[in-house]
Structure 1
Amino acid sequence: MDFLSNNDALWQLSFYGGTLLLFWIIELFISTQKWNLKALHTALNAKFLVFVLPVQIILSLVVFFVASWTETSNWGLMYLFPIEANSILFFVVAFLILDFFDYGYHFMMHKTPLFWKFHQVHHSDMEVDITTTIREHPGETFIRVSYSIIVIAIVGASPWVLIVKQFIQSVSNLASHTNLKLPEKLNNIVSLLLVTPNTHHIHHHYQLPYTDSNYGDVLTIWDRLFSTFSKMKQTEIVYGVDTHMDELQNKDFKNLITRPFDTTTIKDTKVIQLNPTKD
């Protein structure tokens, strides 16, 4: 744990990259997508890392500093509870609170017009697979990590809590974007608690109200609690965003990186369709 705490950024990048590569190889052999098309899709989404990684790494140093300060100062909501700071119960409670805030972040990115301009770049991927996870505009990276810093200060999440949470969250985020789906019966059981590829891919459907549902990051309980959980047949999912369905533009990296700042593009108003099937 001391090693991980002292090499947090390096550990996160190594673990995340290794897990992404593993899922990518599995997709390559199991999915029906041709390898050359998959390579082109991967190359496009990988370009975002050039801009995202510097922002992520620099702000991660602030994340670790704030987390360390809350631990040494006993600052935050977690220290108001009569729970031992290094106990499993401390982690479970902190994880639930942080996951709730992650749900709130995702909801905010969809409902705030300015933030949606950045987040829709992620949703514009019309071939969702494991590499869609890294298709994030650097503007969103700045918003996301800045939000995390504020939440950490409020909650009082210590470094070891963040490290273990990051391990769980990374696996969940990567797995939920993979194009490998669970059998329907198994998915119905697993998705009672956890986000699955099946449930998250509904979130990537190109039209409302499905785009604005299934916000959960690791757990589905918040979607169920706040009535934002939805179901639809996997065969009916169409990936993308209804305001930006030009395939060539969504494969043009320059267009994607400048799109949030382009005032001449189609107004980001999503079309309301039929209500989703609530669970």
Structure 2
Amino acid sequence: MERIVDYFEHIPSAHRSLLLVGGIAFFWLLESIVPLVRFDYHKPRHAGINLFFTVTTILVNFTLAFVLVNTSDWAVARHLGLLQWVPMPLWVQAITGLLLLDLIGAWLAHWTEHHVKWMWQFHSVHHSDQYVDTTTANRHHPGESVIRFLFTTLAVIVVGAPMWLVFMYQAFSVLLSQFNHANIELPRWADRAIGWLVVTPNMHHVHHHYVLPYSNTNYGNIFSIWDRLFSTYATRSGKDLVYGLDTHPHPREHSHIGGILKVPFQPYRAPVGEKESKLSEV
């Protein structure tokens, strides 16, 4: 375990870049071979739009990285946070820390973005994608990237996470997000086997259905336990899903970078559609 800790404590920037680029490339090729949905779209152009937002996310996180590093060092130096208060072996620290960082930095951030109108305005950019694939994982408005960063920083303080744990969490977060957005569907047995631990494409695609109540379910990023615990878990057959938003159907608002960037600053649009429908179990 000490070797793993040492690796993530000093993880080279090249390795972090490889996780991002290699993950996108792998899942992009995989979904081209065995797609869940055979979209009628220009895949490279669609990827280009989402990769633009990948770059803006990287720029935001790189610009604010010093805040995260200093926050982690500050919390550890002052013995703040759960991991600093309760002595535990390194492997327990890793599991506990990953769970709590995922809960606060991902699940809570995501849930909040769906329930606070001005945050939803930024997050709706992510949901406006009508062709959900692995590149959608990084389709975040720069404003949302800042919001997510603030939640991650809060999580670091609450957990008392050292930087090796933060880097480990970010690595898992990147890979799992690319995996669960990928345009693939696991066999039922495989989904059931690993879906009790991590968020699968079968699970997360439901969250991208274009209307309520499904878009307000399955908020998880790494671990599926949080949605099961907080009763926000839902299932629906992949063939019955329609991606995008019922409030933003026009191509200029979901398929053109200039229009997408303006979406958060438009008047709020209340969601419509299947508000009264029941969550189905399949």
TM-score by length of 1: 0.90
Q: Which residue of 1 aligns with 2:101?
A: 98
Q: Could you tell me which runs of 5 or more consecutive residues in structure 2 were left unpaired when the two chains were aligned.
A: none
Matches within 5 A, 1:74-153: 74-84=79-89, 87-101=90-104, 102-153=106-157
Identify which of 58, 64, 78 aligns with 1:53. 58
Question: Residue 227 of structure 1 contacts residue 278 of structure 1 at CA under 8 Å; is this kept in 2?
Answer: no
Q: Secondary structure at the match of 1:141?
A: helix
Moved over 6 A (4+): none
Instruction: Give the Cα–Cα distance (whole angstroms) in 1 for the partners of residues 250 and 188 of structure 2.
Output: 31
Change (3 A) 1:34 1:176: closer
Q: Which residue of 1 aligns with 2:253?
A: 249
Which segment drifts farther, 71-80 or 40-49? 71-80
Instruction: Give the Cα–Cα distance (whole angstroms) in 2 for the partners of residues 260 and 9 of structure 1.
Output: 32
Shift, 1:73, TM fit? 2.9
Q: Could you report, residue by residue, the CA deviation over 1:203-257 in whole angstroms, capped at 9, with x for unpaired residues?
A: 0000111000001111111111111100111110000111112235311111101
Verify: 1:192 aligned to 2:196, yes or no.
Answer: yes
Question: Residue 28 of structure 1 contacts residue 35 of structure 1 at CA under 8 Å; is this kept in 2?
Answer: no
Shift, 1:33, TM fit? 4.5
Structure ranking higher on relative contact order (CA contacts 8 Å, 6+ apart): 2
Instruction: Give the Cα–Cα distance (whole angstroms) in 2 for the partners of residues 2 and 118 of structure 1.
Output: 37
Shift, 1:175, TM fit? 0.2
- Paired residues in the alignment total 275
Instruction: Give the Cα–Cα distance (whole angstroms) in 1 for the partners of residues 55 and 164 of structure 2.
Output: 28
Instruction: Give the Cα–Cα distance (whole angstroms) in 2 for the partners of residues 114 and 225 of structure 1.
Output: 27
Change (3 A) 1:67 1:11: farther
Shift, 1:126, TM fit? 0.3
Question: Residue 59 of structure 1 contacts residue 146 of structure 1 at CA under 8 Å; is this kept in 2?
Answer: no
Q: Could you report, residue by residue, the CA deviation over 1:257-277 in whole angstroms, capped at 9, with x for unpaired residues?
A: 1110123xx623344131213
Identify which of 67, 72, 79 aligns with 1:62. 67
Identify which of 248, 268, 271 aligns with 1:269. 271
TM-score by length of 2: 0.89
Change (3 A) 1:262 1:218: same
Shift, 1:109, TM fit? 0.8
Matches within 5 A, 1:145-184: 145-184=149-188
Q: Which amino acid aligns with 1:269?
A: P
Q: Which residue of 1 aligns with 2:234?
A: 230
Instruction: Give the Cα–Cα distance (whole angstroms) in 1 for the partners of residues 220 and 281 of structure 2.
Output: 15
Identity percentage of aligned residues: 30
Q: Could you report, residue by residue, the CA deviation over 1:172-222 in whole angstroms, capped at 9, with x for unpaired residues?
A: 111000011101232123212221001000000001110000011111111
Instruction: Give the Cα–Cα distance (whole angstroms) in 2 for the partners of residues 278 and 83 of structure 1.
Output: 39
Question: Residue 124 of structure 1 contacts residue 240 of structure 1 at CA under 8 Å; is this kept in 2?
Answer: yes
Q: Which amino acid aligns with 2:76?
A: E
Matches within 5 A, 1:194-213: 194-213=198-217
Q: Which amino acid aligns with 2:97?
A: A
Instruction: Give the Cα–Cα distance (whole angstroms) in 2 for the partners of residues 199 and 64 of structure 1.
Output: 33
Question: Residue 252 of structure 2 contacts residue 259 of structure 2 at CA under 8 Å; is this kept in 1?
Answer: no
Verify: 1:37 aligned to 2:42, yes or no.
Answer: yes
